[in-house]
A and B are shown apart, each in its own frame.
Chain A
Amino acid sequence: MLDSPDTPAPAKRGRGGILERRRARTALWLLLPTLFAIALVAGYPLFRTIYLSFTDFNISTGDEPHWVGLENYWNVTEDGVNIGLLADPAWWSSVWNTVVLSMVSVGTETLFGLGFALVINSKIKGRGLLRTAILVPWAIPTVVSAQMWSWMYQDSLGIVSSWGRHLGLLEVGQSVVANPNSALWALVAVDVWKTTPFMALLLLAGLQSIPADLYEAARVDGATRLQQFRRITLPLLAPALLVAVIFRTLDALRIFDMPYVMKGNAPETMTMSMYARQQMIDNAQFGMGSSVSVLIFLVIMMFTVAYVTLSRVDVEGTR
C-alpha cells in the first residue's frame, strides 16, 4: 500500500520530463515566429532609438551618426551653458503639461464613463440607440474632431466664444484656446469629450460580467441602491476599472494629435510627444529627438510600474 504510490512516481516524473521537454521544444518552435516578429517590430526600433540617443544624428546634413555619449542629455559647454536636454526648461514644461493633461482628463473621463456605463447598462428605453450614439465622438478621427473643436473655439465665428460672450465670460477677440491660462483646460475638455465613450465601453463590459443574482440577493436582504453600488458594483468592477485607467493613462501620456492640431507648437500646451517631434522633425535632430523619446519611455515606464504595483496591493487587499 505504501510502496505502490512510491514506485510509479519516479517513472512518471521521468516520462513527464521527456514529455515536458518535448513540449517545451515544440512550444519554443511555435513561439519563434512571434518572438522574431516582436524583435523586428518592437525590439529593433527600441534599441535603435536608444542607440541614436547617444549620437548627433541629423537627417538634413546627410552625415552618418557620430557617437557623442551623454551629450544630448547633459552637456555643459566651455561658456558654462548646459545645452543638454535635461537642462531645457521647455522639456520640463512639456512633461508638466502632459502629466496635468493626462491626470485631469483620465480622472474626469473615468467619472463620466462610469456614469454613462451605469446608464446604458440599466434597462431603459432606446438603450441600443443610446449605446451607438455615445460612441460617435470616439469614432470620429482625432484630427477631424480637433479641427472641428478649433473652429468652435475660434474667437469671432466659434460657437463656444459666442456663448462665452453672451454669458459675459469672454470679450470680443478673446477665446479660451488663445488665452494661455485656459488653453490647457480647453484641450482637456476636448480629450474628455473624445475618450469618455471609450471608458464607458470598457466599464460597460465590466458591468455586464457582474452576475444579476447578486443584486437579487441584495434586494432580498433589503440593501438600498447605494449600498448595492458600493458593496457589489464597485468592488466587482475594480479590475475592469483599473485596466481601463491604465490603458487611458498610458495613451494620454503619449498624446500628440489633438493638441498639435489645435495649438501647434505653443509652449503652454506642448506635450512630451510634441516636444520630441519638434526636435526630431522640425529641427531634423534625430539624435536629440531620440533622447527625448528615451526619456518619454522612462516616464511612461514609471507610471506603468506604479500602476502595476498599486493593482497588486489592491488584489491582495480584496482577497
Chain B
Amino acid sequence: MKTTIALTVLALFTAAPARAGVTLSFACDSTGKGYEICKAGADAWAAKTGNTVNVIQVPNETGDRLALYQQQLAAGSSDIDIYMIDVVWPGLIGVHLLDLSNLVPAKEVSAHFPAIVQNNTFNGKLVGIPWFTDAGVLYSRSDLLEKYGFHSPPKTWDELASMAKKIQAGERGANPLFQGFVFQGKNYEGLTCDALEWLASFGGGTIIDSSGKITINNPHTLEMLKTVQGWVGTITPEAVTTYAEEDARNVWQAGNAAFMRNWPYAYALGQADGSAIKGKITVSALPAGASGHGASTLGGWQLAVNAKSKHAKEAVELVRYLTSPEEEKRRAIQGSFSPTIASLYKDPDILAATPFFGPLYDVFVNAVARPATATKAKYNQASSAFANAVYSVLTKKQTPEEAVNALQSQLTRVKGKGW
C-alpha cells in the first residue's frame, strides 16, 4: 500500500508530463458479479493502452443509481467519465451525455440490435452504445420438475401456479422454508418490469401507449392483478414485497424456490461452483397469460460518456473496446450477460456456457419496452405510480379495482398538462 502511494506520488510529480496515460472514472455495475467482470474488461483495456481506469462502486438498485447520477450530471460534474446507463434513462439524462454518433464508426454502431440503438437516440443524439440487453426469463429447478413428473417448464401462468403449488407442498416436509415462485415485488423499478410482463402477457397493454394515452384501466389489468394477488401467501412468500433482484436470487440460489423470475445474469451465478443448485437450472421464456403469449420486459444497459468529461477521446475508446464483439463474448461466457450483437447468439462458445441464449433469441429481440419514450422526462414518476399500485395489490392493502382506479388518477396527475 505504502509503495503504491509513493509510486503514485512519484508518478504525479515526475513522470506525469512525459506519459500520455490518463485516468478515467467509470461508474459500472454492482449486481451479482457485475463489478468484477466489468473491472476485468476495463483493466484489460487499461493495460493495453497505458491508461488507468477507476471502476467506481455504485448502488445495487437501478433507481438509486439514477438518483446519484442525475445529481452528478445536473451539477455539471466531470468526475465520472463513463456511465453504464439503463435502457430507460436516455430520455431522463440524455441532455448531459456526449453525442457518440460522430465518434464511434457507423459500422460498429450498426452491429448492435437496431431497436436498442434507436432507444439510445435522444433528440437526434446517440447517447449510449448498447452493452448488454436484458429480458425477464423464468428459472426452473430441472431436478424438481423431474421429481414431480413434469416434462417441461410451465407454459402458462396457471400451469406455473399449479406446478409451484404441488412442488412446494412436496418439498415443505424436508425444507420448511421452501417457496414455489419468487420474483421482484419490492416497490421499485424492478416491480414495474415484472408487472409489465404480466400485464402484456394478459393483453393489458403497456400502461401508457406510444401516443401518450393512459391505457391501464382495462379488464385485462384487473384479471392480471387478481391472478398475481392470488399467488402471494400461497406459492409466493408474503415477504416478496421486500425482494429486489438479489433478494430473490438469494432465496433461489439457496435452493429454496422452485421457480424464479429474474434477468439472465442469475444463470452464471447459479451455475458457479459452490452454488446449491449448480446443474439443476432450466431457463425458459416467461409463461403466457390470457393473451396466449408470454412477454418479457426489455432491460439492458448501455455505455455513455459524460458530455463534461475531460478525457472524452479516451472514454470513447474504452466504450468502443468494451462494446466490441470480443468483449461482449467474454462477458456472455463469464457472466451470462446477453450480447447486443445478433451474431453472438450463434457463437458455439457462448452457447456452450449459456445454452438458453440460442432458444431464447426471440425473447431478447421481441422484449416489451417500458413506456419511457412516451413519458419522456416524467418516466420515473409514471413508473413509480405503476409500481406503487401493483405493490398495494401484492400487500393486499387494495383490491385490484381500487388500485387501478387510484393508479389511473395518479397517472393523470403525473401527466398534468402533458408528458
* Residues of chain A having any CB pair with chain B under 8 Å: 58-62, 75, 77, 79, 81-83, 87-88, 90, 154-156, 172-175, 177-180, 263-268, 278, 281-284
Known A60-B93, A62-B95, A172-B237: A156·B256 in contact at CB below 8 Å: yes
The answer, among B61, B74, B395, for a CB contact under 8 Å with A180, is B395
Q: Is the CB of A174 within 8 A of B237?
A: yes
Known A60-B95, A281-B71: A77·B417 in contact at CB below 8 Å: yes
Q: Is the CB of A156 within 8 A of B186?
A: no
Q: Is the CB of A282 within 8 A of B395?
A: no
Q: Is the CB of B384 within 8 A of A282?
A: yes
A63 nearest CB neighbor, chain B only:
B95
Residues of A contacting B61 in the complex (Cβ-Cβ under 8 angstroms): 264
Known A59-B71, A174-B237, A180-B395: A283·B187 in contact at CB below 8 Å: no
Q: Is the CB of B416 within 8 A of A284?
A: no
The answer, among B63, B96, B179, B413, for a CB contact under 8 Å with A81, is B413
- Chain B residues touching A, range: 35 or more
Q: Is the CB of A60 within 8 A of B241?
A: no
Q: Is the CB of B413 within 8 A of A88?
A: yes
Cα distance, A149 to B9, chains bound together (Å): 42
Q: Is the CB of A267 within 8 A of B95?
A: no
A165 nearest CB neighbor, chain B only:
B176
B409 in the interface (beta carbon within 8 A): yes
Among B177, B188, B239, B417: residue with most chain A CB under 10 A: B239
Known A60-B95, A79-B412, A173-B237: A282·B67 in contact at CB below 8 Å: yes
Cα distance, A281 to B380, chains bound together (Å): 10
B374 in the interface (beta carbon within 8 A): no
Residues of A contacting B254 in the complex (Cβ-Cβ under 8 angstroms): 156
Residues of B contacting A90 in the complex (Cβ-Cβ under 8 angstroms): 388
Q: Is the CB of A173 within 8 A of B67?
A: no
Cα distance, A267 to B385, chains bound together (Å): 11
Tell me, rounded to whole Å, the shortest Cβ–Cβ distance linking B140 to chain A.
19
Residues of A contacting B96 in the complex (Cβ-Cβ under 8 angstroms): 60, 62
17 contacts between A and B (CB under 8 A): A58-B377, A60-B70, A60-B92, A62-B96, A75-B416, A81-B412, A83-B413, A156-B254, A156-B256, A173-B233, A175-B238, A178-B241, A178-B242, A266-B187, A282-B63, A282-B384, A283-B378
Q: Is the CB of A284 within 8 A of B395?
A: no
B312 in the interface (beta carbon within 8 A): no
Cα distance, A139 to B417, chains bound together (Å): 49
Cα distance, A192 to B397, chains bound together (Å): 26
Known A156-B256, A173-B179: A60·B381 in contact at CB below 8 Å: no
Residues of A contacting B409 in the complex (Cβ-Cβ under 8 angstroms): 81
Cα distance, A61 to B91, chains bound together (Å): 9
Tell me, rounded to whole Å, the shortest Cβ–Cβ distance linking A265 to chain B.
5
Q: Is the CB of B238 within 8 A of A179?
A: yes
Q: Is the CB of B74 within 8 A of A59?
A: yes
Q: Is the CB of A173 within 8 A of B239?
A: yes
Residues of B contacting A177 in the complex (Cβ-Cβ under 8 angstroms): 239, 242
Q: Is the CB of A172 within 8 A of B176?
A: yes
Residues of B contacting A61 in the complex (Cβ-Cβ under 8 angstroms): 95, 377
Q: Is the CB of A278 within 8 A of B384?
A: yes
Tell me, rounded to whole Å, the shortest Cβ–Cβ distance linking A61 to chain B.
6
Known A281-B70, A282-B67, A284-B74: A174·B377 in contact at CB below 8 Å: no
Tell me, rounded to whole Å, the shortest Cβ–Cβ distance linking B72 to chain A.
10
Cα distance, A174 to B396, chains bound together (Å): 13
Residues of B contacting A58 in the complex (Cβ-Cβ under 8 angstroms): 377
Cα distance, A267 to B191, chains bound together (Å): 14
Tell me, rounded to whole Å, the shortest Cβ–Cβ distance linking B373 to chain A.
16
B392 in the interface (beta carbon within 8 A): yes
B241 nearest CB neighbor, chain A only:
A178
Residues of B contacting A155 in the complex (Cβ-Cβ under 8 angstroms): 237-239, 242
Residues of B contacting A265 in the complex (Cβ-Cβ under 8 angstroms): 63, 187-188, 384, 388
